[in-house]
Structure 1
C-alpha cells in the first residue's frame, strides 16, 4: 500500500508534464472496448460516464466507449483497435492468456449498498422441494443455468457440484440453458421447468428488491457465509471485473488511468451509473485460471490423446481404412436418420421458441400491469396487494403496518420552469435512491410526485421516525438533472398506522395523504402522523377548493383596498389591494381559510391575476373620477413570482388598464425571496425594467439577507405588524423596528409599517423616521366605493381645517 501511495504521488506530479493542457481538438483519443450483454445503448449508458470521468481527470486525453459483443471485442483486441478493455472476469482470463492484456484495477461492485470485490454463484431450488436439501440430492435432477460460457451462472456452479461429488455431465438428468438474463433461470425453476437452478450472486436479491421474487418461494442449497459479503452464495468467490490495457497502450496513460480510477469518489455519478462504488488495486485472477484448467474450459481445453498427424505419418493405410469405415458408418446413419432428426429438431425448436416467447410476453404484461412505467417502481395496484398482505400478516399480532405518503415540495415549479423532461429525470433518480437506501416492504409511485413507502412488522415507533427522517434526507440531497448540478427539492411525509388508524388498505392510504397535507401546512420538509381531525380538515379543504373554483368562474371574489399614508404629511399616497370572497350563502369568507387552499391547488395563479387586473383598472378609474393619483400595491404569491409568464402578465395588465408602471407596487413576502432567490431573480429584474416598484412584505419574520436586498433593487420594506403591535412599550420591538428603518434608509429603501392601530404607535414611528404606514388607525380594508367616499371625506375635513 505504501508503494502504491508513492506511485500515486509521483504520477500526479508528473501528470501536467505528461499531458499538457489542450483544447478538445488537440486531445488524444483512447478507445475503451466494453463488453455489452444487451444493446449498445445500454452499454453506453453504463460506461460512458466512467469514460467522461477519465477525460476530465486526465488532461489532454479523451476517452470513448465502444460497445461490443464477444466476437467484436476479441477481434478488436487481436487487431489492437482499442486501447483499454472492460469485460467480465471469465472473458478477461481468456484474453489475458491469448493476447497478454494486463489488468490495471479491479471493480468494487455496489451490491445491496455495500462494496464487494468478488462474486460467485447461487444454487437454489423451490422452497417446497423438501427432497432437495443438499447438492448431493441434485443427482438425477434437472438443472437450469443461464449459459455454458457464464462464469458466475454456470462454471462456479459446476465446480461446487464436482466438489460435492456430483458430475454435471454424468449424474444430472439434464442441464438446460435459458440464455441471458439470469432472471429467466429463476422464473423457469419457479414454473417447475427444472428441479434446481444456478445464477450469479446478486440476482436473487435484485429480483426481490424489485418485487419480482418472494424470497420465501426459494431455498438456497449449500449456503455459505463470508464476512463483508452481503449476498447469498453457494460457491467459491472470484474477483470482479478488471479494467485492462493492451500492450500497445502507452505506459504513461495507463498509469494515469490507474491513478484516476483509484481516486474516484464512491459517490461520483459515474460510479452510480456503472453499478459500482469504485476501483481497487488489481486482484489476483490465478484462481479463475485454476478453475478453467480444472473444468477444461478455454484456454485450457484438454489435449486429445490421439495424434492423428503422427499416426498418418507412421501408418497411413490404417488411418485411411479407419476414416473410410467411419465415413461409411456415418453416411448410413445420416441417410437413415436425417429426415426424422430434421423434422424432430425443427418441431422441438419451434415449440421451444414459441414457449419462450409466450413466457417472455406474459412476464412483460404482468410487469407492466404492476409497475410504474417511468420509475419501474410498483404501482398502486401492486401496492394495494402488498399492503393487504402486510395487514393480513399483522392481524392478531403486536406488530403494526406503517404507510408513509411522500410528496415532493415545489415539484410543480420544476415542471413548469424547467420542463417535464427534467421533472421525469428527477423522479427516476429519486426512485433509484429510494430502492438503494430504503429498507421497506414496498416502495411505490402513485403518480406525479407522490410515493408510498410501506413498512411492515413494525414493533417500535422510533423505527418509523427514523425511516421518515432518512426519507427526508434522501429527498433533500441535490439532483444533477437538466444541466443543474445541485437542483434541490424537499419533501413532506404523512404517516398512517394499522391497526391504530384503519384496517383497510385504501383507507390507510387516504389517511396518510391527509397527514401529508398537514406536514405541508406546518412548514414542509417534515413528517406528521394521521389524526381523526385531519379527515375532517381534508373534507373541508376539498369543499373549499370546489367552491373556490366556482367562485372564480362566477366572479364572487372581490378586491378591497386599505389606505397607505405618508407619516410626515398624513396624506394618503397609495392603497394595498386585498382579495375577499363574498359567498352567496356564508357571506365574506376569511382569506386565511381559502388562500392556503388556492396555494396548494395552483388556483392562486388565476386568483392573483384577477386581483392584479382589477386593481390596475380601479386605480385608473379613481383617477378619472377626480380622486388623487394613488400607488396601487398588489401581492404576488410564490407561485406567481416564479411563473415564466409573470412579466408579460403584468405588462398586459398595465397596458389594458392604462396605469403607469411606476404607480404599481408588487409585494412579495420575505420568505419567498429567501427560499426562491435564484428562481425569482430573473423575474424581478424584468419587472424592474418595466418600471414597477417592488416591496418586501412581512419583513423581519424570516431570515433576512442584506445581500439580497441590495441585489434585487428593492423599493419598499414593509415592517410586519408583529413588530408594531406592542410599540412603543416593548423595547425589543422598538429596537428592531429602529434597526430595520435605519438599515433600509442606508440602502436607499423606503419603509412602510403595517398594522398601526394607535396614535402612540404612529407618533413613535414618526420619531423613528418611518416613511409611511397603514392600519386600522386610518381605515380597515374597504370596497372600492367606500374607499372613494373615505378619500372624499378626508379632503372635506382638510378643507374645513
Structure 2
C-alpha cells in the first residue's frame, strides 16, 4: 500500500524519493533512520523534504533511508549530506564522522505543548503486584531492541542505578522489535511482566481507546515532573538534524534557518511538516548514557578479559613447567655444572595494607571493572575524589596500574 502511495506521489510530482523527471537544482541528501522500514521513512519525512525544497529553492532534497548497521558506511561513502536520527545513534556516528547539529526536533506532546526532550516509560499490568523497579527481579521484561535508544537503553540506565542487571537478574529479557505498540499488548495480555516503551506512546494508545490508564502500573514515574507525558527515566534530547562537515556553508545555513522557521511558516502548514525544530540542545546526556552502555554491555569486563586469557595463561604455565623440568634433569646428568640447590622456602605473603572504609569500597568496585565515573555515581561522590582514592590504593599496594592493583588485591 505504501509503495502505491509513493508511486502516486511521484507521478504527481511530489515524491518522497527523487523522481526521474526531476532535474532542476543541486541535490542535497538527507539520511534518515528507517527504524520502521524504507517505505515508512520516505512517507514519514516526505513533508520535511517538501518544506525544505520550498524554503531552499536552490536545492532538491532527497531522502536516503539508513539503518543502524548501514548508516556509518553511507556517511563514509558520501551518500548523504545531512543526518536525521535518534540521539544515541547520532552519538555513535559522531565518534567516527565530523558533523554538527543544526536543530533539535521539537515535538508536540499529549497536552499540546512542545518539548525537545523525551524519555522512556516502564509499564506493568495492573494487579500483577509489580510496583517498583526492584520487582523486575525474576520477571519477564520485553523491549524493542538492545540498541534501541528510547526503546531500551534509557530504561536500562534506570535499572542499573537501582542495582538491577536486566540481562542477568530477570527471568528473561526479550527483544520484540517494532511496532512498539506490540510491547503494550504483550504486557496487557500477560505475555510479559514488564514492558519498556518510548514516552508519548502510551498517551496515543490510550487516546485510541484500546486500553484505559487503569489497565497498567507505571514504574519510577517520580523520576521527573517536568514533562507532560508519563516518564520513567531522566529526560534526554530529541532527534538531531545534523550536517556533515563537508556540506557547503551556504546550504548548511539555509537549511538551519528553514528548520528554525518551520513552526511559524505557512509553507510548513502547506507541506504538512509533522515535527517542528528548535535551536540545537546539548547532547551530553546522550553521550554519557552511550558511554556507560558501551562500557557495561558492549565492552568486556575485566573478569571477562581475564577469562578469555585463561587458555593462554595455562599454556604458558605448562610450557614453563616443562622447561623447568628439563633444566633439572640436565643439571643432574651433568654434575660438572653443579646440582641445583634445594628450593628455598617460599617467602611469606606480603601483608595487605591498611585501608580506610572508603578505600575498601572503591577497591571493591575497581575489582568489578567499574570506571571512576561509575564509581562516583554509585557512591555519590565526585570523580576527582575517586581518582584521589585510586591513587592512594596504587601507592599502598605498590601497583603501577589498575590491572596490577586488582591482581595484588585479590
TM-score, with structure 1 as normaliser: 0.34
CA offsets per residue over residues 149-206 of structure 1, 9 Å max, x none? 1111111111111222322233222211111111111111111112111111011111
Give the 3 Å change call, closer, same or farther, for CA 192–42 of structure 1 in structure 2: same
Residue in 2 that maps onto 1:65 = 63
Per-residue deviation, 1:73: 2.4
Residue in 1 that maps onto 2:118 = 119
Q: Distance in 2 between matches of 1:163 and 1:273?
A: 41
Please say if residues 121 and 198 of structure 1, whose CA atoms lie closer than 8 Å, have aligned partners that are also in contact.
yes
Give the 3 Å change call, closer, same or farther, for CA 301–253 of structure 1 in structure 2: farther
Give the 3 Å change call, closer, same or farther, for CA 206–319 of structure 1 in structure 2: farther
Please say if residues 32 and 85 of structure 2, whose CA atoms lie closer than 8 Å, have aligned partners that are also in contact.
yes
Residue in 2 that maps onto 1:223 = 221
Give the 3 Å change call, closer, same or farther, for CA 275–26 of structure 1 in structure 2: closer
Residue in 1 that maps onto 2:91 = 93
Residues 314-713 of structure 1 mapped to structure 2, 5 A cutoff: 318=316
Residue in 2 that maps onto 1:757 = none
Residue in 1 that maps onto 2:292 = 294
Residue in 2 that maps onto 1:149 = 147
Residue in 2 that maps onto 1:765 = none
Residue in 2 that maps onto 1:77 = 75
Give the 3 Å change call, closer, same or farther, for CA 228–169 of structure 1 in structure 2: closer
Alignment partner of 2:108 out of 104, 107, 110: 110
Give the 3 Å change call, closer, same or farther, for CA 298–307 of structure 1 in structure 2: closer
Residue in 2 that maps onto 1:214 = 212
Please say if residues 144 and 176 of structure 1, whose CA atoms lie closer than 8 Å, have aligned partners that are also in contact.
yes
Residue in 2 that maps onto 1:53 = 51
Give the 3 Å change call, closer, same or farther, for CA 45–171 of structure 1 in structure 2: same
- Partner secondary structure for residue 265 of structure 1: helix
1:252 aligns with 2:247: no
Per-residue deviation, 1:31: 0.7
Give the 3 Å change call, closer, same or farther, for CA 241–274 of structure 1 in structure 2: farther
Residue in 2 that maps onto 1:275 = 274
Give the 3 Å change call, closer, same or farther, for CA 270–38 of structure 1 in structure 2: farther
Alignment partner of 2:163 out of 139, 162, 165: 165
Q: Distance in 1 between matches of 2:248 and 2:106?
A: 25
Per-residue deviation, 1:218: 0.6
Q: Distance in 2 between matches of 1:66 and 1:107?
A: 19
Give the 3 Å change call, closer, same or farther, for CA 44–302 of structure 1 in structure 2: same
Give the 3 Å change call, closer, same or farther, for CA 207–26 of structure 1 in structure 2: closer
- Partner secondary structure for residue 264 of structure 1: helix
Give the 3 Å change call, closer, same or farther, for CA 32–299 of structure 1 in structure 2: farther
* Structure 1 consecutive aligned stretches of length 4 or more whose deviation exceeds 4 Å: 225-228, 266-274, 297-300, 302-312, 314-317
- Partner secondary structure for residue 230 of structure 1: coil
CA offsets per residue over residues 449-486 of structure 1, 9 Å max, x none? xxxxxxxxxxxxxxxxxxxxxxxxxxxxxxxxxxxxxx
Residue in 2 that maps onto 1:193 = 191
Q: Which runs of 5+ in 2 are unaligned?
A: 1-21, 320-410
Q: Which has the higher contact order (CA 8 A, sep 6+)?
A: 2
- Partner secondary structure for residue 243 of structure 1: strand
Please say if residues 47 and 274 of structure 2, whose CA atoms lie closer than 8 Å, have aligned partners that are also in contact.
no
Q: Distance in 2 between matches of 1:311 and 1:171?
A: 26
Residue in 2 that maps onto 1:285 = 283
- Partner secondary structure for residue 263 of structure 2: coil
Give the 3 Å change call, closer, same or farther, for CA 140–190 of structure 1 in structure 2: same
Per-residue deviation, 1:137: 2.0
Per-residue deviation, 1:269: 6.8
Q: Which runs of 5+ in 1 are unaligned?
A: 1-23, 322-801
- Partner secondary structure for residue 175 of structure 1: strand
Q: Distance in 1 between matches of 2:30 and 2:57?
A: 17
Per-residue deviation, 1:117: 0.7
Per-residue deviation, 1:56: 1.7
Per-residue deviation, 1:232: 0.1
Q: Distance in 2 between matches of 1:295 and 1:39?
A: 26
Residue in 2 that maps onto 1:262 = 260
CA offsets per residue over residues 292-316 of structure 1, 9 Å max, x none? 222226997357674999999x989
Per-residue deviation, 1:228: 5.5
Per-residue deviation, 1:289: 1.4
Alignment RMSD, CA only?
3.0
Give the 3 Å change call, closer, same or farther, for CA 297–101 of structure 1 in structure 2: farther
Alignment: residue pair count: 295
Q: Distance in 2 between matches of 1:307 and 1:249?
A: 45
Residue in 2 that maps onto 1:522 = none
Per-residue deviation, 1:255: 1.3
Please say if residues 53 and 61 of structure 2, whose CA atoms lie closer than 8 Å, have aligned partners that are also in contact.
yes
Residue in 1 that maps onto 2:177 = 179
Give the number of the structure whose residues are more often strand, by fraction: 1
Please say if residues 140 and 172 of structure 2, whose CA atoms lie closer than 8 Å, have aligned partners that are also in contact.
yes
- Partner secondary structure for residue 246 of structure 2: coil
Please say if residues 122 and 198 of structure 1, whose CA atoms lie closer than 8 Å, have aligned partners that are also in contact.
yes
Per-residue deviation, 1:225: 6.8
Give the 3 Å change call, closer, same or farther, for CA 25–185 of structure 1 in structure 2: closer
Q: Distance in 2 between matches of 1:252 and 1:73?
A: 25
Q: Distance in 2 between matches of 1:95 and 1:170?
A: 29
CA offsets per residue over residues 489-542 of structure 1, 9 Å max, x none? xxxxxxxxxxxxxxxxxxxxxxxxxxxxxxxxxxxxxxxxxxxxxxxxxxxxxx
- Partner secondary structure for residue 162 of structure 1: helix
Residues 779-794 of structure 1 mapped to structure 2, 5 A cutoff: none
Q: Distance in 1 between matches of 2:253 and 2:318?
A: 58
